[in-house]
Structure 1
Amino acid sequence: MEARREKTHTCGVICLKYLLFLFNSLFWLAGGAVLAVGLWTLVEKSDYISLLNSNFYAASAYILIAAGVIVIVTGILGCCATLKEMKSLLIVYLILLICIFLLEIVAGVLAYVNHQECFPFCYQLDEELRQNLKVTMQQKYNQPGEESVTHAVDKLQQEFKCCGSSNFSDWRDSAWIQAPDNKRLVPDSCCKTPSELCGQRNHPSNIYRVEGGCIMKLEDFILSQLYILSAVGIGIAFLQLVGMMFTCCLYRNLKEDSY
């Protein structure tokens, strides 16, 4: 009877170990996804971030990278604790899961509260970002020493199929457009089929005339990224609850078996 009880406990520990190992694999993959999104935002979209003249989006990318690294390290720690059956390491792992989970809750609450309280300040901030992009495009595009801005604007207009900050008419006040030796009405990157001097015609058949301009496209892109990150955050939070439950059960079984 005692041998049978010992066998049952051993089977329970083995099952919990496999379940917790599977959880940690998923947790590790989720951390990798968050890290990848942060790196992609920082590398691929850094040009757009610089155009907005705001550190908020760059800071968001770094936060994602840090969060991804923490989740990956925590997942590796959980795998080691599970495979080695180290009760002390399981406790450390459980504490880390709880801390990350609490931080997610606090961040979510603060984001909701700030979103509710910032209006109309959020609207004013949004207008400030719009104005910053407009001024940057008008004053720095194709100017000496501003090659990075020129490249970023061309990339923005081509990738999002837009022209100007709010619309194509923003380019009329551009320092580059108003130069005596310039023959274009808009940059060539505004054209649906870019070619040399194609910006001489600003007819709708030739250039992008998106209502709201590039700033609207950029805001839509940022918003879609936030939705994706919210979904990933909810998924990770659910995984953490499952992981905490499995960790407690495994710790209890290991403690019982040690007696």
Structure 2
Amino acid sequence: MGIILVVGGVVIVVISFLGCCGASKEKKTMLCLFATILIAVFIAVLASGILAYVYWNQVETELKQEMLNTIEQYSKDEAITQAWDTVHQLFQCCGISVDADNSQNVWKRNPNFQRASEKVPASCCKSQDSRNTAQCQADPTTNAYTQDCYFAVKEFLQKHSHIFGGVAIGFVCILFFNILFSCILLGKIRRTEKVYVHDIPRS
């Protein structure tokens, strides 16, 4: 996650540098590169939004399947373990329901939870006290979250979809106006250069 943030920050700084310097110094090369990058980002964001809307049902299916697959990697992969622990505590849920009456046993797909002493991760427990957690892991019906994480995440996305959509539309509008203004400035620079060339006296 840290690497992604650093790379994203560097990309934003580079794009901002191209736009600011290109506009202040009236450099066509910088402005062209700035506009080209923004157009590429604009198309990518727009295409992602359209595809997400069109293939939403498929995205839901893939999301559930991916969640089921990663359960097997819990405690083996640090990133997956942290992600699941965060989901459990944030959404107050535990795993995914395989069927109507076997919601907790999904963790049996992970060898670490085939033991009788621990049936669910500690993050599934409502109380994080060590003694209560041990009892909860041994008998999840006493103090563990029972909500299905897939449905909890799905409900959250559906409930906040208008916010995500609004942010996306705002971002696309900002990109559009940046592209528009950079193209207008490029046209102005080119017209100025033409006028300057015509005004040079011929020997």
Distance 1:82 1:115, change over 3 A: closer
Q: Is contact 1:133–1:215 with CA below 8 Å preserved after alignment?
A: no
TM-score, reference length from structure 2: 0.62
Alignment match, 1:153: 84
**Residue in structure 2 matching 1:233, options 163, 172, 184:** 172
**Cα shift at 1:80:** 2.9
Q: What does residue 153 of structure 2 align with?
A: 217
- Which string of whole-angstrom CA distances, capped at 9 and with x for unpartnered residues, describes residues 192-246 of structure 1? 2222213344348x33233x41464278469869644553233222223133324
Q: Aligned in 2, Cα 1:169/1:230: closer, same or farther, shift over 3 Å?
A: farther
Q: Distance in 2 between matches of 1:116 and 1:257?
A: 50
Asked if the contact 1:134–1:170 (Cα under 8 Å) also holds between the matched residues in 2, the reply is no
For residues 20-59 of structure 1, the aligned pairs below 5 Å read 42-43=1-2
2:104 matched to which residue of 1? 171
Q: Note if contact 1:164-1:171 (Cα within 8 Å) is conserved in structure 2.
A: yes
C-alpha separation in 2, matches of 1:238 and 1:165: 44
Q: Distance in 2 between matches of 1:189 and 1:243?
A: 50
Aligned length: 185
**1:194 aligns to what?**
128
Cross-structure match for 1:100: 37
Q: Is the Cα–Cα contact under 8 Å of residues 187 and 199 in structure 1 kept in the other structure?
A: yes
* SS state at 1:241 partner: helix
Distance 1:194 1:249 in 2: 64
Q: 1: distance between equivalents of 2:70 and 2:114?
A: 15
Alignment of 1:62-211 (within 5 A): 65=7, 69-83=10-24, 85-86=25-26, 89=27, 91-108=28-45, 110-111=47-48, 114-115=51-52, 118=55, 123-124=57-58, 126-137=60-71, 139-142=72-75, 146=76, 148=78, 149-166=80-97, 169-173=102-106, 174=108, 175-180=111-116, 182=117, 184-196=118-130, 197=134, 198-203=136-141, 206-210=143-147
8 Å Cα contact 2:103/2:146 also seen in 1: no
**Distance in 2 (alpha carbons) for counterparts of 1:200 and 1:111:** 43
Q: 5+ unaligned residues in a row in structure 2: which ranges?
A: none
Distance, in Å, in 2 between the alignment partners of 1:172 and 1:99 is: 52
Q: Label 1:140 to 1:104 Cα distance change in 2 as closer, same or farther (>3 A).
A: closer
> In percent, how many aligned pairs have the same letter?
23
* Residue identity matched to 1:130: K
- Contact 1:165–1:213 at 8 Å: present in 2 too? yes
Once the 2 structures are TM-superposed, how far is the Cα of residue 191 of structure 1 from its aligned partner?
1.8
TM-score in terms of structure 1 length: 0.52
Equivalent-residue separation in structure 1 for 2:87 and 2:40 (angstroms): 34
